[in-house]
Amino acid sequence: MKKIIAIIPALEKNKYFKKGDLERWGDTTLLEWKIFQAKKIKFIKEFYVSTPSEKIVKICKKLGVKIIKRKKEMKLHNLYTETAKKFADTYILWLNPTSPFLSPKIINKFIDSFKKTKKYNSAILIKKEKEYFFYKKKSINFNSLRTVISRNQILPLEKVSNGAYLTTAANIIKNKSLIGDKPLFYPIDWLSSHEIKTLDEVDSFKALFEHYLKNEI
């Protein structure tokens, strides 16, 4: 398998937090925690933080982390393709800081599953949702005309976790996406798939984070 490069995109301010990926997470920040996790992924020998922020650049330099300095305003597909062009003939593992419960153990298993098959050109993490879903007032995974519908009869929908994506640089350039046309779906649990999006969640998940530290690191 080709070399795997990990990319951690980071902003000083984003749509979720005023402090962006520098929002506090325990006694560190979301970004620094993700860097700590990335260092424990056995398949990754090289990783970069992609950012337009001078403040984040200074933090990464202190941590000995390589930087990709990018423009402030970039559409996602441009961010993906411009990054991929720097790493021809490699696999890219895209890691988002807002998924702090996505452990190195799970990422290692995720990559290992992908390495064992040649059927797929990318891999995504998914969480199976066995709930009642409607779209435009029409049920999409169960028969709403039946009087009694148990959860066992519901078809599970597969929700993409935003925590990590794996594909080739060539695939990103071709499709302008982190997901190829033949993705491996790797199921993970609810906590691992959870993305932190509000300050309330940062506070609410403190106890869970302490539990995570004791059991995953």
Backbone angles phi, psi at 22, to 5 degrees: -95, 10
Q: Which residues contact 196 (CB under 8 A, 6 or more apart)?
A: 16, 25, 30, 98, 99, 100, 202, 205
Q: Which parts of 3-116 fold into alpha helices (H)? A: 30-38, 54-63, 76-84, 104-115
Would you tell me how many other CB atoms lie within 10 Å of the CB of residue 46?
11
pLDDT one-digit tens code per residue, 65-79: 999 999 888 888 899
What is this structure's pTM? 0.88
Quote the pLDDT of residue 103. Answer: 93
Quote the pLDDT of residue 191. Answer: 87
pLDDT exceeds 60 at position 214: no
**Integer angstrom CA distances of residue 123 from 49, 92, 176:** 21, 11, 15
**Integer angstrom CA distances of residue 186 from 3, 68, 89, 117, 217:** 21, 28, 24, 13, 21
Higher-pLDDT residue of 153 and 90 is: 90
Quote the pLDDT of residue 211. Answer: 62
Confidence of residue 4 (pLDDT cuts 50, 70, 90): very high
- Collapsing DSSP states into helix, strand and coil, what is residue 214? helix
Q: Which residues contact 193 (CB under 8 A, 6 or more apart)?
A: 99, 102, 125, 126, 127, 159, 161, 163
Instruction: Judge whether 45 and 36 are in contact, CB under 8 Å.
Output: no
pLDDT exceeds 60 at position 199: yes
pLDDT one-digit tens code per residue, 32-46: 999 999 999 999 989
The dihedral over CA atoms of 38, 33, 30, 35, expressed in degrees to the nearest 10, equals -30
Q: Which residues contact 215 (CB under 8 A, 6 or more apart)?
A: none
Average pLDDT over residues 57-62: 96
Residue with tokens 């970069």: 48
Average pLDDT over residues 194-213: 70
Please give the domain boundaries of the chain with CATH numbers for all domains. 4-131+160-216 (3.90.550.10)
Where are any strands of DSSP class E within 76-180? 91-95, 122-129, 134-135, 138-139, 157-168
Task: Please tell me the distance from the alpha carbon of residue 194 to that of residue 204, in angstroms, as a whole number.
Answer: 13
pLDDT one-digit tens code per residue, 132-171: 888 888 888 887 776 567 777 788 889 999 999 999 999 9
- Collapsing DSSP states into helix, strand and coil, what is residue 158? strand
Quote the pLDDT of residue 35. Answer: 96
